[in-house]
Amino acid sequence: VADDANGPKLVALSSQECWELLGTAKVGRVGTNDDAGPVVIPVNFTVDGTDVVFRTREGGLLSQAAGWGRLAAFEVDRIDERREQGWSVLVRGELRQAFEDDAAELGPKVVPWAGGDRPVVGRIVSSSITGRWINHS
């Protein structure tokens, strides 16, 4: 199907559609860099306005090695491998740590499945959001 003009097409999503789709998912993937280059790490998340909020470990990759203030991407998709269709959304922005009242309010809204103590609340403050849908029309 790859080069078939009547085959599947990538269709761009509006930013509103992208935010709506983000709201339907519980897991996304943070892309950022540590000293050895890019990393992509799945996290439970929630949306707060136009920020992506997640929790992580003290000293974990997302809090220490990656570093607050670094640029980050956040990707969510829902892909059906059998039907070969789905959508993906990409948020780009900056990693920021949430402090005190902010963290106390947001932390309980994100429950990490992975267990362990994950007291650090992080935000990706978005600067852009884009998405696409693989459309079998």
Residue listed under structure tokens 């932390």:
107
Residue 108 and residue 86 in contact, taking contact as beta carbons nearer than 8 Å: no
Q: Are strands 37-48 and 27-34 parallel, antiparallel or unpaired?
A: antiparallel
Instruction: Kindly state the smallest distance separating residue 73's Cβ from a second copy, in Å.
Output: 4
Establish if 77 lies at the interface with a second copy (CB under 8 A): yes
Establish if 45 lies at the interface with a second copy (CB under 8 A): no
One residue of 74, 106, 121, 129 binding a second copy per CB under 8 A:
74
Distances in whole angstroms, Cα of residue 28 to Cα of each of 53, 73, 105 = 11, 10, 21
Which positions from 54 to 73 touch a second copy by CB under 8 A, shown as an x/- string? -x---------------xxx
Q: Which stretch binds a second copy (CB under 8 A): 13-21, 45-53, 96-104, 114-122?
A: 114-122
Establish if 17 lies at the interface with a second copy (CB under 8 A): no
Both tokens assigned to 78: 């829902």
Distances in whole angstroms, Cα of residue 49 to Cα of each of 7, 89, 124, 126 = 36, 16, 11, 10
List residues bridging with 76 in a β-sheet.
89
* Contact residues: a second copy, CB under 8 A: 1-4, 7-10, 25-27, 29, 31-33, 36-42, 55, 71-75, 77, 79, 81, 84-85, 88, 90, 92, 111-118, 134
